[in-house]
Amino acid sequence: MGTMRHMPFTYAVRSDAEPTPAAWCFAFVEGQLVVPESEATFAPQAWQRFEALQATRHYLGRLDGIDCWACELSQTPAGCKRMPLRAAMMAMGEPLMNVAACAAQVLEWDRSHRYCGVCGTATEPRANERARVCPACGHTAYPRLSPAMMVLVWRDGEVLLARSPHYAPGVYSALAGFVEPGESLEQCIHREVLEEVGVRVTDLRYYGSQNWPFPHSLMVAYTARWVDGAIVRQEDEIEDANWYRLDALPKIPPRFSISGHLIRDTVIALGGPEPQHLASPVVPR
């Protein structure tokens, strides 16, 4: 589906303007994205094409001035096929992959909040915001985001890379973990690094963030400088962890994920060469 030119995306819950003749339709069947069966391009089309198969539909906003919809379908339409979301996002490139991620998260939130988590009553969508409300007790459920930190630890001429058991064979990445209640991102970094590999860090520097719809994470990436400690793996979380020279990295995630950007950009900033080791699609931390 290819890399596309920059196209601005304006997020919205509803449109107050006339609908565009065609729309970006991010349609899903059983968690997989519907894409053209034979065409190489994911392109705008009439959302009404899916109307008879729709279980639910959500307005997302406009991408480059064109309406965007998230649709859950009962079956795959004729002329289309299903594609795992991760693989589809890799093929799309930005900015389509970001809107596809948004669509997946909105549909997952809607699916998992059909009933009130307090009293069990069926919830109802609220018209003016992305929320489902319980008509019995008033509990309101907004789309859920789970913040997670990612950190690439470095020291002179080396970076610390690790692999989890669920990674593709031979693929290493930065350390990561979910933020616990009451923690700041920085506190989470210090705790996770110490727990997972037994080292201490300083000089935390924010790198960037990425929404990650598996199922609803917000990855917030940092770099940090090693202070002390030898690597001691947390065996139930880390399969392997080592220091790697900047010019001798193992396989790392592609730039599709923020981990791929973080590792490559940090290695170059530290004076190393552009890493060339590309990995197959993996399940990133």
Alpha-carbon distance of 271 to 31, in angstroms, equals 42
**Greatest Cα pair distance in the chain:** 61
Q: Which fold would CATH assign to domain 146-269? A: Nucleoside Triphosphate Pyrophosphohydrolase (3.90.79)
Q: What pLDDT, on the 0 to 100 scale, is given for residue 261?
A: 95
| pLDDT per residue as tens digits for the range 108-139 | 999 999 999 999 999 999 988 999 999 999 99
Q: Check if 9-112 and 146-269 are the same fold.
A: yes
* CA 100 to each of CA 58, 164, 165, 213: distance values in angstroms, whole numbers, following the listed order: 13, 26, 27, 9
Q: What pLDDT, on the 0 to 100 scale, is given for residue 277?
A: 55
Q: What pLDDT, on the 0 to 100 scale, is given for residue 2?
A: 42
Alpha-carbon distance of 247 to 274, in angstroms, equals 9
Q: Are 48 and 42 contacting, i.e. CB atoms less than 8 angstroms apart?
A: no
Which H, E and C letters describe 215-262, residue by residue? CCEEEEEEEEEEEECCCCCCCCCCCEEEEEECCCCCEECCCCCHHHHH
Q: What pLDDT, on the 0 to 100 scale, is given for residue 3?
A: 43
* CA 41 to each of CA 20, 24, 261: distance values in angstroms, whole numbers, following the listed order: 19, 12, 25
Domain ranges in the chain? Answer: 9-112, 146-269
| Predicted TM-score of the model (pTM) | 0.85
Q: Is the domain covering 9-112 a CATH 1.20.1250.20 domain?
A: no
> In the predicted model, what is the mean pLDDT of the chain?
91
| Token couple for 2 | 């290819």
Alpha-carbon distance of 221 to 236, in angstroms, equals 23
* Parts of the chain with a pLDDT under 50: 1-4, 280-285
| pLDDT per residue as tens digits for the range 229-271 | 999 999 999 999 999 999 999 999 988 889 999 999 999 999 9
